[in-house]
């Protein structure tokens, strides 16, 4: 099955990336600490993606797409300043209604390796 592309709704400039390495902290007596890699998993890269002031139709398209993936089906998205689409899943997003009928959507995309 081929992954679908995220609908073409450009995110706001406040979109940001975070990377988390799986590390275990081991504490010894005397205040000594050692950090070791936790398992064979590689670093997890997430993008916190924001769409501000979306018209109702665009917000519905985007939210409907994310809901249809059910947090487990990967989709393709090209991060800001990225050259090629990468696979992501989205397990959580929020919708904030605005007085104008528009909506803000904030989502967390997890890159799949």
Task: Show pLDDT as tens, one digit a residue, over the chain (113 residues).
Answer: 578 999 999 999 889 999 998 888 889 888 889 888 877 778 899 999 999 999 999 999 999 999 999 999 999 999 988 889 999 999 999 999 999 999 999 999 999 98
The answer to whether the pTM exceeds 0.95 is no
CB atoms within 10 A of CB 32: 8
Say if CB 83 and CB 42 are below 8 A apart.
no
Say if CB 44 and CB 20 are below 8 A apart.
yes
Domain spans of the chain, in order of start: 45-111
Q: Is the dihedral of CA 66, 71, 76, 77 positive or negative?
A: positive
């Amino acid at each position: 099955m081929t992954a679908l592309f995220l609908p073409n709704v450009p995110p706001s400039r406040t979109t940001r990336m975070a990377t988390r390495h799986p590390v275990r902290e081991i504490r010894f007596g005397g205040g000594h600490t050692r950090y070791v890699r936790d398992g064979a998993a590689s670093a997890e890269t997430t993008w916190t993606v924001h769409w501000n002031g979306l018209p109702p139709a665009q917000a519905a398209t985007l939210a409907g797409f994310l809901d249809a993936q059910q947090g487990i089906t990967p989709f393709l998205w090209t991060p800001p300043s990225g050259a090629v689409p990468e696979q992501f899943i989205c397990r959580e997003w929020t919708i904030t209604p605005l007085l104008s009928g528009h909506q803000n959507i904030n989502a967390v995309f997890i890159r799949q390796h």
